[in-house]
A and B are shown apart, each in its own frame.
Chain A
Amino acid sequence: QQQVKQSPQSLIVQKGGISIINCAYENTAFDYFPWYQQFPGKGPALLIAIRPDVSEKKEGRFTISFNKSAKQFSLHIMDSQPGDSATYFCAARSSNTGKLIFGQGTTLQVKP
């Protein structure tokens, strides 16, 4: 069964610090890797996404690093702010079915 494993489960970072969340996948038949941000009581919202032919993508303070050979990708949040406190989900889309497989989520708390 296709799986996406996410770590850590929770993360506490000081304001201005770097938050790093890691994901690993087991199947090579994925063609799209998004990260979603979810605030309490809200649905997930797309934050940033990458395709496997690119090793890094940056949008503002958010960067995805992608290592195809290791089947790993990570989200880096630079200059973390209290407003970044949320749950983050990585996901991978099956190139066969188009289905999104989500990781278990990381709860980020940024302390002022």
Chain B
Amino acid sequence: EAGVAQSPRYKIIEKRQSVAFWCNPISGHATLYWYQQILGQGPKLLIQFQNNGVVDDSQLPKDRFSAERLKGVDSTLKIQPAKLEDSAVYLCASSPRTSGRGDEQFFGPGTRLTVL
């Protein structure tokens, strides 16, 4: 079974520039998550999708961050404009949520963003 795919793996941008991250979840997984992991901290949930719909985006800085999930499969996370404090690893995760094994979240390798 293929895992969660993310691209790019690394991105370096100047502050005030825009950046987008892409995630392809495990096939058939209904729920998709985007997390921000700042160096030395645990992942923090930014947004959760159930199929096409947003379940929780309470910690997404909506003035600069946006996310969408296309046709309930792939997802993109965008930052516009980026700030220095956005430097972090952005993790995508997915979970089945429709079966008895729905508790486990499967994480991708992440995209490491550096804002200069």
- Where the two chains meet, the residues of A that have a C-beta atom closer than 8 Å to any C-beta of B are 4, 6, 32, 34, 36, 41-46, 49, 89, 91, 93, 97-100, 102-105
Contacts and interface: CB of A to CB of B under 8 A. Distances in A.
A49 B109 contact: no
Given A97-B56, A99-B48, A99-B56, A43 B42 contact: no
B85 interface: no
Interface of B: 4, 40-45, 48, 55-56, 91, 93, 103-110
Contacts of A97: 56
A43 B4 contact: yes
The secondary structure that dominates the B interface is loop
Given A32-B103, A100-B45, A43 B93 contact: yes
B84 to A, nearest CB: 21
Contacts, number: 49
Given A46-B104, A49-B103, A105 B40 contact: yes
Contact of A45 (B56, B107, B110): B107
Contacts of A93: 103
A102 B43 contact: yes
B44 A43 contact: no
A89 B40 CA distance: 11
A32 B40 CA distance: 24
Contact of A43 (B56, B91, B104): B91
B103 A91 contact: no
B109 A44 contact: no
Contacts of B55: 98
Contacts of B43: 44, 89, 100, 102
